C-alpha cells in the first residue's frame, strides 16, 4: 500500500461522511433528519460487509451493526466485537450510508437511492485488496450480483455455492439480513445454519482471523 493510495481512500471517506446529497439533491422526499453517514473503509481488510443502511441505534452511535442484528452477524462470522470493528480486518459499506427513516408501520425504509450511484463504485475501487464481499439483503445482492441473483432473496441465498464459485474478483457470498425479525426465516431454512455458516466461518477464519497478527 502506497501513501498516495491511503490518502485517496481517506479523502474519499471524508467526502462521504460529509455528504448531504439526500437532503440537498434528493431523489424523492429528502432525508427526514440530519445526515450521519456510517461507513468503514480500509486498505488492509480482505472482507467487505455490504449491508442495507443504518438503523436507529446505529444512527445514534455512528457504529455499524451496533445492535442485535450485529450480535447475530458476529455470531455468523465467528468473531468478537474487537475483531469486527477492526478496520484492518473488515470494511463495512452499506448500500445507504444514512438511516433512511421509518415507514408507516415502524420498520426501516429502504436504503436511500442517492448513495450507491454517487459513491459505491469509486469507494470499492479504492479497496482492490478485498477478496470476499458478504452481500446482506436484497438491495446489496441486486447491486453486487446483478443478473446472477435469483427472483427472491431465499432463492439467491440458496444458490450460494454457485455464486461463491463464479469466476470473479472479489468473490460474493449472499446472506439474509441478520435482523431478529428474520428468526422465522432461519427456522424455515435450516440449511442456512447447517450448510452455509460453516463455509462462511471457515472463510472468515482464513481471510481474517488466521492473518490477524501477521504483518502484510
> Above pLDDT 70, what percent of the chain?
95
- Dihedral sign, CA of 210, 213, 215, 216? positive
Q: d(Cα 26, Cα 143) in Å, to the nearest integer? A: 20
> Above pLDDT 90, what percent of the chain?
86
Q: What is the DSSP string of 16-61?
A: HHT--HHHHS-SSSPPSS------B--SS-SEEEE-S---HHHHHH
Span 91-127, pLDDT tens digits: 999 999 999 998 888 788 899 999 999 999 999 999 9
What is the mean predicted confidence (pLDDT) over 152-173?
A: 97
Q: What does the DSSP 8-state code read for residue 97?
A: S
Q: Which residue has the cell 433528519?
A: 33
| pLDDT reading at 210 higher than 80 | no
When the pLDDT of each residue in the chain is averaged and rounded to a whole number, the result is 93
Q: What does the DSSP 8-state code read for residue 135?
A: E
Q: What is the pTM of this model?
A: 0.93
Span 119-132, pLDDT tens digits: 999 999 999 999 99
Q: Of 39, 44, 144, give the one whose Cα is nearest residue 96.
A: 39
Domain 3-209: which CATH number of 3.40.190.10, 3.40.50.620, 3.10.20.30, 3.40.470.10: 3.40.470.10
What is the mean predicted confidence (pLDDT) over 54-63?
A: 92
- Quick one: pLDDT at residue 1? 47
- Dihedral sign, CA of 40, 165, 189, 148? positive
Domain positions in the chain are 3-209
Confidence tier at 6 by pLDDT (50, 70, 90): low
- Quick one: pLDDT at residue 175? 98
What is the mean predicted confidence (pLDDT) over 64-85?
A: 96
Amino acid at each position: 500500500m502506497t501513501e498516495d493510495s491511503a490518502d485517496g481512500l481517506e479523502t474519499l471517506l471524508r467526502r462521504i461522511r460529509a455528504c448531504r446529497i439526500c437532503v440537498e439533491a434528493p431523489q424523492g422526499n429528502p432525508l427526514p433528519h440530519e445526515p450521519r453517514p456510517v461507513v468503514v473503509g480500509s486498505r488492509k481488510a480482505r472482507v467487505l460487509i455490504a449491508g442495507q443502511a443504518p438503523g436507529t441505534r446505529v444512527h445514534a452511535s455512528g457504529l455499524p451493526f451496533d445492535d442485535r442484528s450485529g450480535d447475530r452477524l458476529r455470531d455468523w462470522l465467528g468473531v468478537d466485537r474487537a475483531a469486527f470493528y477492526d478496520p484492518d480486518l473488515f470494511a463495512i459499506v452499506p448500500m445507504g450510508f444514512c438511516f433512511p427513516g421509518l415507514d408507516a408501520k415502524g420498520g426501516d425504509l429502504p436504503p436511500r437511492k442517492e448513495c450507491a450511484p454517487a459513491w459505491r463504485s469509486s469507494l470499492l475501487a479504492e479497496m482492490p485488496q478485498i477478496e470476499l464481499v458478504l452481500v446482506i439483503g436484497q438491495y446489496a445482492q441486486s447491486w453486487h450480483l446483478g443478473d446472477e441473483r435469483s427472483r427472491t432473496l431465499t432463492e439467491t441465498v440458496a444458490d450460494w455455492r454457485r455464486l461463491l464459485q463464479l469466476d470473479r474478483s472479489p468473490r460474493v457470498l449472499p446472506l439474509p439480513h441478520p435482523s431478529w425479525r428474520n428468526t422465522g426465516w432461519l427456522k424455515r431454512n435450516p440449511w442456512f445454519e447447517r450448510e452455509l455458516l460453516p463455509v462462511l466461518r471457515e472463510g472468515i477464519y482464513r481471510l481474517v482471523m488466521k492473518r490477524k497478527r501477521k504483518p502484510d
